[in-house]
Amino acid sequence: MPTAFHAVHQVAAPKGMPTADDFATASGTLPDPAAGQALVENLYLSVDPYMRECMNGVWELNAPLEGRSVGRVLASEDPRLAVGDLVFHRQGWRTHALITADEARVIRQAEGVPLSAYLSVLGGTGLSGYVALTRIARLQEGESLFISAAAGGVGTAAGQLARILGAGRVIGSAGSPAKVRHLVEDLGFDAAFDYHDGPVAGLLREAAPDGVDACLENVGGDHLEAAIDVVRPHGRIVWCGAVSTYNDPEHPPAAPRNLYEVVGKSLRLEGFLVREYPHVQEEMEEALIPHIRSGRLVPDETVADGFGRVVDAFLGMLRGENTGKMIVRVAGV
């Protein structure tokens, strides 16, 4: 049963912010799955900030791209993957894929949980927030937390999780007044600020005059400097990303001028890669699914409809046009 498929390729290395001209759509035919393979129709695709880094020489030009995906098995030559199974895998940016069981995780969709949530609060962004707060920051009840880029996929998941963990005060930075309102009015943040309104260090100090116990840092540059400034002695900074550096890797923002305060205040500054924590996935799902069902945890998503919107969704995410996790719903879902 050969299947026609479409895939987006990167065809040029961007200079600064990527454009649509850096991508092209290729079409082809996938053969029947061979022994040990399964044919998957992708239903939802994820576009993420880390992909901008991949465009700087990590992704091969004129070749299928990598990305988190949720799909349905159409045909299988492996007993571990049955026809009809819903699977998470990383052959994104395409309508169909041939995968092996070792490249996939079968999703047991829980009642009351939308399938797209397995790319948002139960996907890589949710897992990033969960690992950051439970494994690295080890956030305790009553503690205060600052989250940068709080209106993105990781930030919206982490902010809600902090509330579930009993945080005493949650503060976020975002890129527009509308996003600031969304954080406070819809997602339960105690305070938030638009980082365009002035120096980030001053805005954060105003929002947290008594400091904070922990920070989840997703931006780098002036946000990391502000986090070092505001966190209390013996506090923790979890470094998850640095979106301020992705579009100009040759000229990144200057290192924090107060970096030595990590020593002076006896801080713990620790980075992590979520791909090193797949063993936490099941624990996270067991912990969070009851809160999704109850409505306490909202899969905060911006969904672009149709495979043809993949590039637009990716570029829009880099421009900050999304609230929560940016996801592409492939036509026909």
Domains located in the chain, CATH noted: 3-119+299-329 (3.90.180.10), 124-275 (3.40.50.720)
- Cα separation values, 66 from 54, 63, 89, 139, 178, Å: 9, 10, 10, 32, 32
Measured distance between the N- and C-terminal CA atoms of the chain, rounded to whole angstroms: 21
What is the model's pLDDT at position 156?
Answer: 98
Mean pLDDT over 121-143 rounds to: 98
pLDDT exceeds 90 at position 43: yes
Residue among 67, 212, 54, 86 nearest 148 (CA): 212
Mean pLDDT over 192-203 rounds to: 97
Mean pLDDT over 152-157 rounds to: 97
Mean pLDDT over 297-304 rounds to: 97
Residue-wise pLDDT tens digits, 45-69 = 999 999 999 999 999 999 999 999 9
What is the model's pLDDT at position 31?
Answer: 87
Tell me which of 3 and 287 has the higher pLDDT: 287
Residue burial 70-99, b: 16+ Cβ < 10 Å; e: rest: bbbbbbbebeebeeebbbbbbbbbbbbbbb
Q: If pLDDT is split at 50, 70 and 90, which confidence band does 333 have?
A: low
Residue-wise pLDDT tens digits, 61-99 = 999 999 999 999 999 999 999 999 999 999 999 999 999
In percent, how much of the chain has pLDDT > 90?
Answer: 91
For the record, the structure tokens of 93 come out as 């940016």
Q: Full-prediction pTM beyond 0.85?
A: yes
Asked if 164 and 170 touch (Cβ cutoff 8 Å), the reply is no
What is the model's pLDDT at position 173?
Answer: 98
pLDDT exceeds 80 at position 251: no
- Cα separation values, 165 from 61, 127, 139, 299, 327, Å: 43, 15, 7, 17, 26
- Cα separation values, 241 from 232, 235, 272, 291, 314, Å: 21, 19, 9, 26, 17
pLDDT exceeds 90 at position 239: yes
DSSP 245-289: GTT-TTSPPPPPTTTTHHHHTT-EEEE--GGG-GGGHHHHHHHHH
pLDDT exceeds 70 at position 281: yes
pLDDT exceeds 80 at position 174: yes
Mapped onto helix, strand or coil, the DSSP state of residue 94 is strand
Q: If pLDDT is split at 50, 70 and 90, which confidence band does 242 have?
A: confident
Tell me which of 241 and 19 has the higher pLDDT: 19
CA quadruple 172, 174, 180, 182: dihedral positive or negative? negative
Helices (H) and strands (E) in the chain, counts: 9, 15
Sequence-ordered strand ranges (E) for the chain: 3-10, 23-30, 38-46, 69-76, 86-89, 96-99, 105-107, 144-147, 169-174, 191-194, 212-217, 231-239, 268-271, 301-305, 325-329
Residue among 198, 238, 245, 196 nearest 217 (CA): 238
What's the distance, CA 268 to chain centroid? Answer: 23
Mean pLDDT over 212-216 rounds to: 98
pLDDT exceeds 80 at position 331: no
> At residue 324, what is the residue type?
G
- Any idea what the Cα angle at residue 274 is, between residues 74 and 321, rounded to 5°? 80
Average pLDDT, whole number, for the chain?
95
pLDDT exceeds 90 at position 245: no
- The phi, psi pair for 163, rounded to 5°, reads -65, -45
What is the model's pLDDT at position 332?
Answer: 66
